[in-house]
Structure 1
Amino acid sequence: MRTPHIPQTQDGGPLSGLKVIELGQLIAGPFAGKTLGDFGAQVIKVEPPGTGDPLRQWRVVQDGTSVWWQVQSRNKHSVVLDLRTDEGRAEVRRLIDEADVLIENFKPGTLEKWGMGYEALAARNPGLIMLRISGYGQDGPYRDLPGFAVVAEAMGGLRHLMGEPGRPPVRAGVSLGDTLAALHGVIGVLLALQARAKSVSPEAPKGRGQVVDVALYEAVFNCMESLLPEYSAAGVVRQPAGSALPGIAPSNAYRCADGQVVIGGNGDSIYKRLMAAIGRDDLGDAPDLAHNAGRAARVDEIDAAITAWTVQRPVAEVVATLQTVSVPVGRIYTVQDIAEDPHYRARGMIERIVTATGQVLEVPGIVPKLSATPGAIRTLAPGLGETDPPAARRPEQGYSA
C-alpha cells in the first residue's frame, strides 16, 4: 500500500500551511476538523473502508449521501485506511509524521492499544499537537466508560435545567455536548500552536507539541455559568425554569395572539422602556423594581403584566413596538424563518453551493468572521477516498458535471 498523495491546499485563510489529520467520526472530532478547515488548514480525514464515516448516511440522504456531510466535511480530503490492520496503521503513522495536528475521538486507550499513543507519535514528530475528545477525558475513574453527548449534557448539569419545573427534562434537538467539545478542542489546538511557536529551538525546530484533552461533560460544565459557586456559597441547587432565566428578570418567552416572542428586559433602563411601552409605568417607576434583585423577587407579577399586553397582539406588532424603543425582542425562528431572513443572508450566514451531483444546496456560512483573513468554503465534502475533492462552486458560477 502506498501512502496516498494529497494535493497541497491552495493558500488562503489564517491557518494556511497547517496540516491536520482527522481520525474521528460522526460529530465532535469532525466538527473541530471542519472549523480548522474553514480557516485554511489542510484537513486529511482518515475513514474506514467500506462505508466510511457513519455520518455519510445520517438523517436526510440525497443522491446516496447525507446533506449534513456536505457541511461537516467541506474543506477536507478523504483517505481510506483500515486502522485495525498493521498496514493501515503504518500508513497513518506516515501521514502523522508530517502533520501539525492530530484529531481523534476514540475511546481512551484505543490508540495506545494500536501503538499510536501520544508518546509513540511524538517520538517521531515532536511538534505534534494531539486533540483527544472523549466522553470523560483521558484519565479519572470514568475514563473507560462510553460517553455520548446526551450523557455529557446530563452529567455536565445542562439537562437538569432544561424543561418545565416538575416535569422530566428535555433535550435540545441538536448534539450540544459534541459541538461544545469540538469548539473547546479548537481553542485548545490554537493555544497549543501558540505555545509550540514559543518553544522553537535548535533541538525542536518546529517547537514542542502537546496533548489537548477535551471531555464532553467538561465542555458542557464549562458553560454552566454560576451553577457551582451558587451551590458552594449558599447551597442553592438551581432548578429548571422553563423558558425563563432564573434570578434575572424579566427575561422569558411570552404568548402572543398568533405565536410567541422572547423578550430580554432585564437591564435597568431597558426595563423602564419596556414597562412604558406596555403601558405599565407603575411597574417601571416602582423604586423596588429599579434593579434586578427587586425584579427577581416580583418576577411572576412582571411576567403576568407583559403577557397581558403581548397576548392581545400579533407577533409582528409586539416585535415592531419593542424594537422601536430598543428593547431586545425576537420571534422564535424555525429553519424556514432562518432561510428567509435578510440579515442571515446579508451576513453571509447562508451560502449556496453546487454539490458534485449538481444539486444546489444551502449550507451554513463561516463563523467567526475575520476582517483580514476570513474563512471560506474552498472545496466540497469529499467522496469516500477522494483525496482531491472539487473546488466549491456557487450556482451563479455555473456548473459542468
Structure 2
Amino acid sequence: MARARHGLQRAQAARSGDRSGQAPGRARARGHARAHQPVPVLPGGRHDPGGGGRERQGPHARLEAAAEGAGEARLAHGRAERRVHHRAVDRAEPPVDRDLGGDPRRDEAPDPAAPEAARAGARRSGRRAGHAARPGDLGRALRRPPGVRGPGGIALGAQELRPLPVTALAGVRVLDLTRFLAGPFCTAILADLGAEVIKVEAPRGGDEGRYGYPSADGVPVAFLALNRNKKGITLDVRHDEGRQLLRRLLAHVDVLAENFAGGTLASWGLAPDDLCREHPRLIVASLSGFGQTGPWSSRPSYDIVAQAAGGFMSITGFPDTPPTRGGGSLGDFVAGLYGAIGILAALAARSRTGTGQAVDVSSQDAMFSLLDNWPTIHAATGRRPGRVGNRHLATAPYDAYRARDGWVVIAVATNRIFRRLATAIGRPELGEDPRFRGAAARLEHSAEVNDLVGHWVAGQSVAEVMDALGPEGAHVPCAPVYGVDQLVAHPQLLARDMLVRLPHPKLGELLIPGVVPKLSGTPGTVHRPGPDLGEHNTEVYEGLLGLEPPQVDALRTAGVI
C-alpha cells in the first residue's frame, strides 16, 4: 500500500471520486429500493462519511470487507481507487444501529486494537509544513458548521485495510472530560473493551491526577495506568471558544463523560438534557458526588466523603476504633464501575431505540448500594450493623489470622466446611461440639472458635496453612494476605493476563493491570499507556474536525487548546 505521506490529498481525491456516483452494485431486493448500500472503504476499513455510502458502518462491516478481500486504497493516475463492500441496510423504521456504534453523521471510530504505528503515520499525513497562525484563523476555526469536517480533514486514525481484532465496543467513540479517579476509571473500562476514548485535559497542567500519586523518574505512572488506551487532547471548556469546540466535537462522538460537581455542565450552558436534545443519539454520562438532583447535588466530594455519606464507613473498622475508610479509593472506583454499567446500558438501549440519553451516577448512591442489605434489614427489624473488623456479622470463623511469617484469611460458611477445618487443625471433635454446630451457634461463640483457629494458625507458616487448608488439603476457602510486591508476580494473575507490560520510552516498560471481564469472542486489550498532555491534538483537531494547521496554532496561542 502506498504510504500515508500523502493521506490528506488521497482522502480529498477519494471524496471527489465518490461524488461521481459511480459506486457499483446497488442491489435491490424484494422491491425495496436501495436494499443494499455501497460502502466506500478508506484505509483501515472504515467508510468515508463524505462518500456515496451514507449508511453508518460498524466493526462488522470492516471485518467482512477484510475477510472478503475488499482491496486496499491505492493511488493510480492521481486518483484514489477504492473497492466497496455491500451490506444490507436495516429496513426497520425508524432505522437503528444493530451494534453499539454511533451516529451516521460522523466518521467511524477505529478499533483501538489496530497497530499504533499506522495511526501515527496517518496523523503525520494530515499536517502541512510552513504554516503559521494568521489573523482570523481562530474565528474561522470556530465558525465552521458543527459536525462537518473541512476539506483538509482525514478520517481519524486511518490505517491500512487488514483483518483486525474486533473488540466489543469497536466503533464507539467517547469524549472524556473526566479527571481524578471516578470518571477516568469509568472511561478506562470502556477503553479496555474497545471504545476509542479521547481524554480532554486543561491546556495548562492537565488532569490533576497526573500529580497526586508517586511518580517514577518524573513519569506519572499511576495516571498512565488509569488512563490506559486513551488518546489525549487539551481543551479549556471554561473558555467560550473552548465550549464551541466541544459542541463541534459532540457531532463526532457517541458518549460524553464528565465528573464535575453536579450542575457544573448546566452552569456552562451544556446541560446534559439539552445536549441530548441537540444530538439525539448522544449519551451524556455525569458522575458526581451526589448526582444531578436533590438538595446535596451541588456539593463537592472526594472518596472519603462518598464513603462517609453513603454509610460505608459506619460499618467498616473494629468495634473499638473510629469509623474507617475502606482501603484504596473505593468510593471513586465503585462510582466509576456504575458509570460504565450505565453507559453500556444506554448504548444497548440506543441500539434498539436509536436515541441516546443522560446517565446520572452519584458516588453516595454507589456506596449506599454496598451496605450488605442493612438498609432493608434495619427498615424491617430496627437492627443496626456494628463494626466487626475482618469478621462477619452472619458466620464464624471468618477472619484474618496471623501466621509465623504473615497473615492469612479463613472463611467458613457451612457446617461441612467447618468439619473439614476442624479435622485439618487436629480438632475433629469440634465438628460435633454443640457450641459450634450451625452458623448461629458458631456466631454466638465466635470469640471461642476464632481463638481456636487463631491459635493453630499462629504455629504455622503461611505456606503450611495453605498446604493444610488449600485444594490439596481440607479444601477450605482461604488465602494469604498478599502485598502488591507479591501480586505483580502472582501466577494466577499472570495466567489471567492481569499483568500487562508495555514499553515506555523513559522507564523501559510499564506494568498496567489487564482487562477484568474476559470476553471469549470480542476480548478487550490493554495496548498503550495513557497519553502525554495534548499528544493527539493534531490528530483530533485536524484529522477529526478538519481544522487547518494555522487555525490550530491560533487556538493554541489563545489558550483554548
Give the C-alpha shift of residue 83 in structure 1.
0.7
Q: 1:311 to 1:11 in 2, by over 3 A?
A: closer
2:358 maps to 1:211: yes
Alpha-carbon distance between aligned partners in 2 of 1:81 and 1:388, rounded to the nearest angstrom:
9
Contact 1:108 1:137 in 2 (8 A): yes
Q: 2:185 aligns with which of 25, 31, 50?
A: 31
Aligned residue in 2 for 1:311: 458
Q: 2:497 aligns with which of 329, 348, 353?
A: 348
Alpha-carbon distance between aligned partners in 1 of 2:227 and 2:364, rounded to the nearest angstrom:
24
Q: Deviations over 1:275-318 (max 9, x none)?
A: 11112222212356332122111111111111121111111111
| 1:340 alignment partner, SS class | coil
Contact 1:37 1:43 in 2 (8 A): yes
| 2:295 alignment partner, SS class | coil
1:133-282 superposed matches below 5 A: 133-199=287-353, 207-282=354-429
Aligned residue in 2 for 1:378: 527
**What is the letter of the counterpart of residue 290 of structure 1?**
R
Unpaired runs of 5+ in structure 1?
200-206, 391-401
Farther-moved stretch of structure 1 (10-19 vs 182-191): 10-19
Aligned residue in 1 for 2:511: 362
Q: Deviations over 1:121-164 (max 9, x none)?
A: 12321011111101111111111111111111111121122221
Contact 1:47 1:78 in 2 (8 A): yes
Alpha-carbon distance between aligned partners in 1 of 2:391 and 2:507, rounded to the nearest angstrom:
45
Aligned residue in 1 for 2:194: 40
**What is the letter of the counterpart of residue 198 of structure 2?**
I
**What is the letter of the counterpart of residue 339 of structure 1?**
V
Larger radius of gyration: 2
Contact 1:7 1:387 in 2 (8 A): no
**What is the letter of the counterpart of residue 328 of structure 1?**
P
Give the C-alpha shift of residue 166 in structure 1.
1.9
Farther-moved stretch of structure 1 (300-309 vs 350-359): 350-359
Contact 2:303 2:329 in 1 (8 A): yes
Alpha-carbon distance between aligned partners in 1 of 2:296 and 2:515, rounded to the nearest angstrom:
35
2:283 maps to 1:129: yes
Q: Deviations over 1:254-286 (max 9, x none)?
A: 122222210012222111100111122222123
Give the C-alpha shift of residue 71 in structure 1.
0.9
Q: Deviations over 1:198-218 (max 9, x none)?
A: 11xxxxxxx111111110011
Unpaired runs of 5+ in structure 2?
1-137, 143-152, 540-561
Give the C-alpha shift of residue 34 in structure 1.
0.6
Aligned residue in 1 for 2:218: 64
Give the C-alpha shift of residue 11 in structure 1.
6.2
Give the C-alpha shift of residue 170 in structure 1.
2.6
Q: Deviations over 1:16-63 (max 9, x none)?
A: 000101111111111111110011101011111111111112212235
Give the C-alpha shift of residue 64 in structure 1.
3.4
**What is the letter of the counterpart of residue 199 of structure 2?**
K
Alpha-carbon distance between aligned partners in 2 of 1:387 and 1:318, rounded to the nearest angstrom:
52
Alpha-carbon RMSD across the aligned residues, in angstroms, is 2.0
Contact 1:381 1:389 in 2 (8 A): no
Identity of aligned pairs, percent?
39
Q: 1:7 aligns with which of 141, 151, 157?
A: 157
Aligned residue in 2 for 1:297: 444
Aligned residue in 1 for 2:468: 321
**What is the letter of the counterpart of residue 385 of structure 2?**
R
Q: 1:337 aligns with which of 478, 482, 486?
A: 486
Aligned residue in 2 for 1:74: 228
| 1:65 alignment partner, SS class | coil
**What is the letter of the counterpart of residue 48 of structure 1?**
A
Alpha-carbon distance between aligned partners in 1 of 2:463 and 2:538, rounded to the nearest angstrom:
45
